Amino acid sequence: MIIIYEGTLAITAEMDAGNEYVLDYIKKGTILNSHNFLSGRPPQASIKCLTAVTFYYLPLYKLEDISANYPALRSTL
Summarised one tens digit per residue, pLDDT across range 46-73 is: 888 999 999 988 887 887 787 788 877 6
Does the structure show a pLDDT above 80 at 19?
Answer: yes
Name the CATH superfamily housing domain 2-76: Jelly Rolls (2.60.120.10)
- Predicted local confidence at residue 1, as pLDDT: 78
- Predicted local confidence at residue 39, as pLDDT: 65
Dihedral over alpha carbons 43, 49, 52, 56 (to 10 degrees): -10
Does the structure show a pLDDT above 80 at 20?
Answer: yes
